[in-house]
Every structure is written in C-alpha cells, then in structure tokens.
Amino acid sequence: MTDTQFIPDSDKFGKQVDAVNNGEFTWESPSNIALVKYWGKKKDQIPENPSISFTLSNCKTITTLRFSKKNDMAFSFDVFLDGKKQDDFKPKIETFFKRIEPYLPFLRNFHFTIDTRNTFPHSSGIASSASGMSALALCLMGVEKKLNPDIVTGYFNKKASFLARLGSGSACRSIEGDLVVWGKHELIDESSDLYGVKYPYKVHDNFKNFQDTILLVDKGQKQVSSTVGHNLMHNHPFAEQRFKQAHSNLERLMPVLESGDLMAFVELVESEALTLHAMMMTSNPYFILMKPNTLEIINKIWAFRKETSLPIGFTLDAGANVHILYPGKDSEKILEFIKNELVVYCENAHYICDEIGFGAKQL
C-alpha cells in the first residue's frame, strides 16, 4: 500500500476550499506506552521494525484548532500552550506542515490557531509528542472532513494516524486503542509502516484493565532527543539483530496476549525495555539514560515479584522514568507497595496513575 491513497482529489479541491471560510475543532488524544519498542527509523518516518503499544487513558493532550481563510500562500499559524503563546514550538510545527502538505493541500489557505494543553505536567519527563502530534493530526483531519464530508470514519482514523506519524512516529499509535501495532509484521494482517492499526486478534481479559503507574524519577528535559536516539541506530553494530528481534518479540507476544500468561508478558516487556537502553549504551556516542533510582526501582520490583508472585513488571521509554505495568485486579496490593517502597525514589515523590485507554475523542 502506498501513500497516494492519502492525497485528496485535486479536481474537487478548489470548490471545496471556496465553500469553507472558518471553523474550529477540538480533540483529546492520549499518550501510549510501547511494549515492543520502535527504535530506529528510515527516511520519511518509516520505522525499522514493528512496535506495539498500550494506549493510555489519563495522560493526554487536548488541542483546539481554529482556522480562518486568508489570501496569501504562506504557512500561517500561532501556537499556545496552556493559553500562553509558544513560539518555540513553531519550527517543529512548520516542519510538520511541510511534511504533510502533499496530503493536506489546504494548509496554506487558512490561518491556524493551535491551542493546546496536556493533562500531565510539562516538566514531568513524559514526552508529549505522541499525544500532541496525534491531537493536532486529528484536528487537521477535522478540517479535511469539513471540506470533504464524504470521508468515512475508517479513512479518517487511518489518515489521522498516517499524518501523526509524520509528526512523531509513536504518535500514530495514539488514535485508536487499546492495543496498537505500527510497522509491517508478516503475521499481523493489515499492519503497515505508514500508520498504526488496532491489534486485530484476540486479547485475554487479563489485559483488559491494565494499569500503568508512571514513576517520575527524573522530570528534567530529555538527555537525548528521540530524533538523535533513532539516528544512533544507523551504523549501530547490533542494529540488524535488534530489528529482527523486535519482529520475533512481537510474534512471541501474540500467544501471550491470547492466553493471558502474565508472567510471560512481564518477561518479554521488561526485556524489550532493557534492550532499548542497551542499544543506547552501545551506540556511538553512547548514553546511559537510566538514573540510580531507576535501578533501585527495578530491583525492588523484582524482589517484590519474587516474594509475592504478583504479575508486576516495568517498561521504560528513552529516559529514566519507570512505567509499572500490572493487571487492575492486583491494584490494591501493588499500589500499596508502590506508595510504601517506590515513591521515595521519585523526584518530589511524584507519580502518575494511568491505565489502558481506548484512543482519541472529539470534544
């Protein structure tokens, strides 16, 4: 499948743009946490390997996009975060607009005001690119649908994911929940490098109300931006092996998701997280993104799991914060453990309780 399916019909475009002068759309879109990680990309935001994530519920971005017709043909937009003008976001959005212009030819016909806020604190070390770029892509799809009301939901979501990917790879996994695959995998029907798809097979009830408690070990700016990080996989001595491993880990995860084998799940997901960090430690230049408290937390989780046999596990993004994953039915005991033994390792005792969610919503 190529990306030409997302280029609108140029014959109808003039009339459609003439018919619309202004409007506004608001979408909220969640963050997501990868179980099998995307790390390494080719040109045009094509992932080197397939990934799969849980969509989150509470950590989200809410974006309102206002648009009004203008006459000149330059890109024109203002960005506000929490009501304050945020000119430092403009270069990233301008790059995004340039990348998606072939698919949204109306971008130069309107002035846009992008008003955005996150439900999680800006300085929490939680990346807002997945929720932020997916919310913006959905609002822009709102404009496209206003120009062309014939667009159906399936196409709307697929194209929103496609556009979000061009803003930030992981953002394409935030449109629809609850488990999303992005990247072609030979055993997953409809999977694509171009957009995320809902995981199409049976998932055991054990995963239905999974919890993600995010321990904020380091709330500072990311030490390595994701773009720099992904680039480190070019000429990485272990890259090819890692990309193969992601395929086989996704294949191994499929029967685990079906059977509900929580211990097998934990083992696979923890191994993925540590592999991601191992890739950073063995790149040139090399980085250690975990902090001493990250390791303290991991060791405590392992000891608690051994002692209680509860299916608690962790995953990590490209940073020091720890995502603790566990089934909803064990929440009481595990939250007790987190409060008593782990919160002490968080910056200012800060942690966020989230859980598996079902994707973006128009407000």
Smallest distance from ligand DP6 to CB 229, Å: 7
Interaction between residue 196 and ligand DP6 (CB under 6 A): no
Tell whether the torsion through CA atoms of 94, 225, 44 and 156 is positive or negative: negative
Nearer residue to ligand DP6 within complex by CB, 170 or 293: 170
Interaction between residue 38 and ligand DP6 (CB under 6 A): yes
Interaction between residue 323 and ligand DP6 (CB under 6 A): no
**Of the ranges 1-9, 36-44, 237-245, 301-309, which one interacts with ligand DP6 (CB under 6 A)?**
36-44
Q: What is the DSSP letter of 359?
A: B
Q: How many Cα atoms within 13 Å fall on the side-chain side of residue 133? A: 27
Q: Which of 29, 55, 124, 129 binds ligand DP6 (CB under 6 A)?
A: 129
Where do we find the tokens 């490098």? Answer: 193
Interaction between residue 174 and ligand DP6 (CB under 6 A): no
Interaction between residue 246 and ligand DP6 (CB under 6 A): no
Smallest distance from ligand DP6 to CB 39, Å: 6
Interaction between residue 37 and ligand DP6 (CB under 6 A): yes
Interaction between residue 170 and ligand DP6 (CB under 6 A): yes
Interaction between residue 317 and ligand DP6 (CB under 6 A): yes
**Of the ranges 37-45, 91-99, 262-270, 292-300, which one interacts with ligand DP6 (CB under 6 A)?**
37-45
d(CA 33, CA 318): 11
Interaction between residue 29 and ligand DP6 (CB under 6 A): no
d(CA 196, CA 360): 13
Report how far apart, in Å, the C-alpha atoms of 247 and of each of 52, 95, 190, 199 are: 11, 31, 15, 15
Smallest distance from ligand DP6 to CB 280, Å: 9
Report how far apart, in Å, the C-alpha atoms of 86 and of each of 81, 113, 312, 323, 333 are: 6, 11, 39, 29, 42
312, 266 contact by CB (below 8 A): yes
Report how far apart, in Å, the C-alpha atoms of 114 and of each of 66, 148, 304 are: 7, 22, 45
β-pairing, 76-81 with 110-118?
parallel
Touching ligand DP6, residues 60-119 (CB under 6 A): none
Nearer residue to ligand DP6 within complex by CB, 176 or 317: 317
Q: Which of 50, 132, 169, 177 binds ligand DP6 (CB under 6 A)?
A: 169
Q: What is the DSSP letter of 298?
A: H
The residue ranges that bind ligand DP6 (CB under 6 A) are 34, 37-39, 45, 51, 127, 129, 168-170, 226-227, 230, 276, 317-318
